[in-house]
Amino acid sequence: MPKPSDLLQGTVDLLILKTLQREPLHGWAIAKRIQVLSGEVLAVGQGSLYPALHRLENSGWIEAEWKASESGRDAKVYTLTREGKKQLARELESWTRLSSAVGLLLQRA
Amino acid sequence: MSPKRLLRIVRQRIRAIWRPASLDAELDRELAFHLEQLTEELIADGMTPEEARFAAKRAMGNLPLIAEQSRDRRGVAWLSDFQRDLFSGFRMLLRTPVSACVIAASLAIGIGANTVVLGAIDAVFRSALPIPEPETVVRVATYHDREPRASRPATFADYTAWSEQNRSFEAINLTLRRELAVSDLAGGNAERVVGVATTAATFDVLRVPAALGRVFTAADVPAAGPGLPVVIGHGLWLRRFGGSPDVAGTRFLLNRREVYVIGVMPDGFAYPQPELEFWAAIPANPGDVQSPERVYGVTARLKPGVTLEQAEADLNAIEDRLARQRPDRHGGWHVQIVPIRDAMYRWTLEPLWTLEAAVALVLLVACTNIAGLLLARAVTRRSEISLRSALGASRGRLVRQLMAEAIAPAAIGGALGVGLAAIGAGALQMLVPPPGAMPLMTITIDTRMVVLAITMSAVSACVFGVVPSVAASRWPLSEARAGRWREVLVTAQIAVTLVLLIGAALLTRSFVAVITRDVRFDPERLLAFDVNVPINEFMLASGAVGDRPYFEIGPVPSALFQRLHDEFGGLPDVRGVAGTSVSLVNSLIVPTRTVEASGGAGRDPIDMAWFLVTPDFLTTLKVRVIRGRDISRQDTTSSPWVAVVNETAAHYLWPGADPIGRQLRLTDVPDERPRQVIALVPDVPLAIPQERATPAIYLPYLQQPDRYPLPGANRLGQMTFMIRTAGEPRMLVPAVQQALHRVDARRTITNVTTMQEQLRSRFPERARFLIVIGMFAGAATLLAAIGIYGIVSYTAALRTREIGVRIALGATEADVVGLVSRRAAILAGGGLVAGLAGAVVATRLLRRQLFEVTSTDPLTYAAALLLLTAVCVAACAVPTRRAMRLDPTIALRCE
């Protein structure tokens, strides 16, 4: 299983934004969902997760709110903003381009 | 970036700066929540609560590190860093008080001086001109191909052509400064008042309304006869008319002509010069119209939408047409249009810009010195910087820190500088002549100036901070590298100082040339005053010659002047009496006549400065007669008519030949007779400083025709007497007045002055200005000397061991000197060469202010070079001596 630190910083951003596309989540839930949806392959540790979340928040792609969670404690829930959606589309596109380029190289080389 | 996103980002940043604690608390809660969820999951997997908690904590890893990384993402780290560095900078200053004082003092002087001078320049630009919409008002001047930089006033013919044919101006006017006799209708209470003879359109150009009454328009000005309207100034109104509110309509005599007061100008209005007290629309007499005299000021208001360039092209086309019609009068002349603000302020702005250049250079030199100091300090902080670098500070971060630390001294220097500026503003006002039409200019240090000072401090901090910061951040900063940087700085300092010294030297030399200008006569103890006979007492209209009016000249003036000459000569303490029709030097207008050599030497007639003089004129004034004899009392109307010419005139009329005995003719006066040249004299300058040599001719006032045209006829009634006294000239004034009263009680003397005063009127101001520039050059030299001393001591100290070894091995004193000074010599040499090159370029800007000195005058350059070299040598001397006296045993032991 590749360690989370092997992922590029931009990839973490992409994963977080994509995860938030469906519904707002708090940090723990984002990490769990990434783990589950990737078939237990990718695990984003809190050492990368929270810095990434704050970076995205400071750049205005996501917004945060303190809401009551199921466990009764308040949790900081993140929502994708409209600009964040556009950024997601952009990152998705560059990721697709990158991965197909790598694939092409591997095929031809 | 969308505005909503921007807003979000800004909100985040503000929160990070304003309430970092609440953000930290939030972060802790978030991480705690995560920890809790992880613990619960582990419990659900089957661990016990304690095991789960420990496992979760382990899994979370380094919580403080995560917190810190998240904090870093907030993007406002730089601000708190900056704050910290700033305070650290202040603390460092406190720890080294001596160097802090030196830095603060030199910065304070540099920034303060710059603030004051820039404030003065700003005051000049911002000062409200007394006329509405001054951007559309322009001054029209002329210049000749031969001297494109010398702008001259216009001739009457120019004005007539321009006003009739122009398409660019709403209104155009003519002004001529006149000093005229003002008296009651009965002739009593006479005084002479300075004012402006102008055209009816004047106030259409100026558009300034009167404070009382009204200003005149074309409709008010009668073509002939009495009833001329005159607008008087505030001062004249108070002084002569008692400040009466009913003054409008009051009649009085102006130059023996009946006029009436139509309005009073507001207090403080004085255009175009401060001492003007009346504006009278005196219709031009035909003589003026034809006069070739280039003396008239022309001002105009542009039509809306017309630019300066368009107007200039328009008038130049008219001027070309004039040149084709009358090539002798207008050939080669062109028009230059200048905004009124520039025209009025040029004399004030030029010295101010020079001063600003000087203080800017001084600030630069001060900054270089400080940079050297900071470099030396950075070396001692090597270990601290290495530690920071090891702990993870990037190079950029180190540079930021060192730059921020440079702000502390800059801030202190700037604050002190503002204080100094407030004091200095008053001093500067004494040095700088206020521009025309303004009461004493007030330089205020207001918020804008303070902001300027702050900006300058910031810029200075960058300037002197950058080198040490960049050098020091490349860890480790060895002493050798610091030394090399300082060498570069010192070289730059020397170059800048040399430029400053050369500039100051050139200006001083020019000033000395002006004040020691050989005026070619002896101006000591000469009392000068005017006696004038109004033209209606001796001029009788008598037809016309061609297009010029002709007059019969009565005997009144010459009889009067003869008697006065005798009376004045008989006064006690008088060593000699001379008279001339207009003042020899610095006269406002010098009339000219067209002169031709008789006997057809082939050259065209030429206009010459024309003076009517009394007998023994040359002897009394001690003009050095090159050849020939003085005009004497025997030269009367019945004896052969004579003339005295100056060198330029003789050279033109009879190049290479002796002018004595030759004949010449004044071609523009029909009743003139051919005159024989009896004396050749050197060129007496017509103005101080005079730019080019003008031909001049001196004629006896007793040998003049009985009929004379205008222009010129009126000059026959004017005489400026110059009396050489044994003692203080002004003491003779009462005796002179009594003598005049005895001869003719109606006359008054005017314009009482001494020749020395006339020659020196501008000197004290200029001298003070030069002293200030000299002081700044001196300050820069001192700073440069300190810089050299610093670097030489530094490098010598570095090489103490080496020098000790060499001495021990037998090096002579000469060898040691060579060792220490060679490097310094290279530095100084490089700086001097760079400074010379820089000076050649920079002093081109000074050309306008230099008299009889070129901007690359070798003597001046050599002198400045020598001075600075001597200073450098002296500055090196102390460390060199120390090195020579080094005791090798001590040197080898020290580290």
Mean pLDDT on B506-514: 82
Looking at B685, B717, B746, the residue that finishes a domain is B746
Confidence at residue B64, expressed as pLDDT on a 0 to 100 scale? 81
Confidence at residue B430, expressed as pLDDT on a 0 to 100 scale? 66
List pLDDT tens digits, range B149-194: 777 888 888 888 888 888 888 888 888 877 777 888 776 777 778 8
- Percentage of chain A beyond pLDDT 90 is 17
Of the candidate ranges A54-63, B249-258, B433-442, B820-829, the one whose mean pLDDT is the lowest: B433-442
Nearest residue in A to B76, CA atom: A58
List pLDDT tens digits, range B681-697: 988 887 666 666 788 99
List pLDDT tens digits, range B870-891: 988 888 888 888 777 777 777 6
B769 in the same domain as B735: no
Tell me the pLDDT band of B439, cut-offs 50, 70 and 90: very low
Within a domain: B727: yes
Shortest distance between the Cα of B31 and any Cα of chain A, in A, equals 8
Shortest distance between the Cα of A102 and any Cα of chain B, in A, equals 31
Within a domain: B124: no
Residues of B in contact with A60 (CB under 8 A): 4-6, 8-9, 12
Amino acid at B792: V
Within a domain: B346: no
Q: Is the pLDDT assigned to residue B674 strictly greater than 60?
A: yes
Confidence at residue B437, expressed as pLDDT on a 0 to 100 scale? 37
B683 in the same domain as B561: yes
B722 in the same domain as B830: no
List pLDDT tens digits, range B633-653: 888 888 999 999 999 888 888
Within a domain: B344: no
CB pairs under 8 A between A and B: 76
Say how many C-beta atoms besides its own lie within 10 A of residue A10's C-beta: 13
Q: Nearest-5° angle of CA B195, CA B200, CA B202?
A: 65
Where are the domains positioned within chain A?
4-108
Q: Is the pLDDT assigned to residue B224 strictly greater than 70?
A: no
Nearest C-alpha neighbor of B364 from the set B431, B473, B462: B462
Q: What is the secondary structure of B4-19 as a DSSP string?
A: HHHHHHHHHHHHHHH-
Spatial distance between the Cα atoms of B759 and B688, rounded to a whole number of angstroms = 7
Q: Is the pLDDT assigned to residue B432 strictly greater than 70?
A: no
Q: B202 with B281: CB under 8 angstroms?
A: yes
Q: B697 with B609: CB under 8 angstroms?
A: yes
Confidence at residue B475, expressed as pLDDT on a 0 to 100 scale? 61
B368 in the same domain as B494: yes
Domain count, chain B: 4
Contact call for B62 and A71, based on CB within 8 A: no
Query: Domain A4-108 belongs to what architecture?
Result: Orthogonal Bundle (1.10)
- Choosing among A13, A46, A65, A69, which should be mutated to test the B contact, i.e. which has the most B CBs within 10 A? A46
Confidence at residue B286, expressed as pLDDT on a 0 to 100 scale? 61
Tell me, rounded to whole angstroms, the distance of Cα B172 from its chain centroid: 29
List pLDDT tens digits, range B236-285: 888 788 778 888 888 888 877 788 888 888 876 766 666 778 888 877 66
Mean predicted lDDT score pLDDT of chain A: 84
Confidence at residue B515, expressed as pLDDT on a 0 to 100 scale? 73
Contact call for B34 and A59, based on CB within 8 A: no
Mean predicted lDDT score pLDDT of chain B: 81
Within a domain: B155: yes
Mean pLDDT on B790-811: 79
Mean pLDDT on B482-511: 85
Rounded to two decimals, what is the model's pTM?
Answer: 0.64
Residues of A in contact with B31 (CB under 8 A): 46, 50
Spatial distance between the Cα atoms of B434 and B558, rounded to a whole number of angstroms = 42
Confidence at residue A79, expressed as pLDDT on a 0 to 100 scale? 92
Q: Is the pLDDT assigned to residue B698 strictly greater than 90?
A: yes
Pick from B30, B62, B65: which is nearest to A76 by CB? B30
Q: Is the pLDDT assigned to residue B54 strictly greater than 60?
A: yes
Q: Pseudo-torsion of CA B653, B658, B661, B667, nearest 10°?
A: 0
Confidence at residue B644, expressed as pLDDT on a 0 to 100 scale? 93
Residues of A in contact with B4 (CB under 8 A): 60, 81-83
Spatial distance between the Cα atoms of B20 and B83, rounded to a whole number of angstroms = 15
DSSP helix/strand/coil, B705? coil
Q: Is the pLDDT assigned to residue B680 strictly greater than 90?
A: yes
- Percentage of chain B beyond pLDDT 90 is 5
Mean pLDDT on B787-794: 78
Within a domain: B196: yes
Per-residue pLDDT of chain A (109 residues; tens, 9 = 90+): 444 444 566 788 889 999 999 899 988 889 889 888 888 888 887 778 888 888 888 888 899 988 887 777 788 899 999 889 999 999 899 889 988 998 999 998 7
Looking at B49, B75, B101, the residue that finishes a domain is B75
Spatial distance between the Cα atoms of B501 and B156, rounded to a whole number of angstroms = 46
List pLDDT tens digits, range B831-842: 899 999 998 888
B356 in the same domain as B326: no
The residue range of the domain holding B181 is 146-331
- Choosing among A28, A32, A33, A77, which should be mutated to test the B contact, i.e. which has the most B CBs within 10 A? A28
DSSP helix/strand/coil, B193? strand
Within a domain: B106: no
List pLDDT tens digits, range B58-98: 877 777 887 777 777 777 777 778 888 888 888 888 887 77
B452 in the same domain as B383: yes
Residues of A in contact with B6 (CB under 8 A): 60
List pLDDT tens digits, range B381-405: 778 888 888 887 778 888 888 888 7
List pLDDT tens digits, range A9-31: 678 888 999 999 989 998 888 98
Please give the radius of gyration of chain B, using alpha carbons only, rounded to the nearest integer.
39
B553 in the same domain as B473: no
Contact call for B61 and A45, based on CB within 8 A: yes
Residues of B in contact with A57 (CB under 8 A): 12
Q: Is the pLDDT assigned to residue B471 strictly greater than 80?
A: no
Contact call for B69 and A26, based on CB within 8 A: no
Within a domain: B113: no
Query: Can you point out the beta strands (E) in B416-537?
Result: 526-532
Contact call for B29 and A76, based on CB within 8 A: yes
Nearest C-alpha neighbor of B275 from the set B212, B195, B170, B209: B195
Say how many C-beta atoms besides its own lie within 10 A of residue B848's C-beta: 11
B684 in the same domain as B774: no
Residues of B in contact with A74 (CB under 8 A): 29, 33
